[in-house]
Amino acid sequence: MAFAYSLCSSSKGNSTYIGDEKNGILVDAGLSLRSFKQKMDFRGIDYSAVKGIFITHEHTDHIKGLKTIGKLLNVPIYSSRKTIEHMIKNDMLPQGGKAIELNKKVADMGDMGVTSFTTPHDSVHSLGFRMQFNDGKVAVVCTDLGCITDEVSQSIMGSNFILLESNYDDQMLKMGAYPPFLKHRISSTVGHLSNVDCAKTLVDLLHSGTTKFMLGHLSEQNNLPQLAMKSALDELIKTGSELNRDYILSVASAQCTGDVVEI
Among residues 45 and 63, whose Cβ is nearest to Zn ion? 63
**Could you say which residues in the range 110-149 bind Zn ion, by CB under 5 A?**
144
- Taking the complex as a whole, the smallest distance from the CB of residue 92 to Zn ion amounts, in Å, to 14
The SS3 call for residue 155 is helix
The residue among 14, 38, 34 whose CA lies nearest residue 26 is 14
- Taking the complex as a whole, the smallest distance from the CB of residue 122 to Zn ion amounts, in Å, to 7
- Taking the complex as a whole, the smallest distance from the CB of residue 57 to Zn ion amounts, in Å, to 6
Alpha-carbon distance of 104 to 85, in angstroms, equals 18
| Residue 61 in the binding site for Zn ion (CB under 5 A) | yes
Choice from 39, 59, 67, 212 touching Zn ion (CB under 5 A): 59
- Taking the complex as a whole, the smallest distance from the CB of residue 44 to Zn ion amounts, in Å, to 28
Would the CA dihedral through 95, 34, 128, 219 be positive or negative? Answer: negative
C-beta separation of 33 from 70 below 8 A? no
Among residues 172 and 206, whose Cβ is nearest to Zn ion? 172
- Taking the complex as a whole, the smallest distance from the CB of residue 144 to Zn ion amounts, in Å, to 4
Among residues 132 and 143, whose Cβ is nearest to Zn ion? 143
Total number of residues that touch Zn ion (CB under 5 A): 3
Among residues 59 and 125, whose Cβ is nearest to Zn ion? 59
Element (H, E) at 69: helix 66-73
| Residue 169 in the binding site for Zn ion (CB under 5 A) | no
CA atoms within 13 A on the CB side of 237: 6
What DSSP string runs through 30-72?
A: -S-HHHHHHHHHHHT--GGGEEEEE---S-HHHHTTHHHHHHH
Among residues 61 and 169, whose Cβ is nearest to Zn ion? 61
C-beta separation of 169 from 118 below 8 A? no
- Taking the complex as a whole, the smallest distance from the CB of residue 143 to Zn ion amounts, in Å, to 6
Alpha-carbon distance of 60 to 11, in angstroms, equals 9
Minimal CB distance to Zn ion: which residue?
59
Indicate the residue type of 221.
Q
**Binding stretches for Zn ion (CB under 5 A):** 59, 61, 144
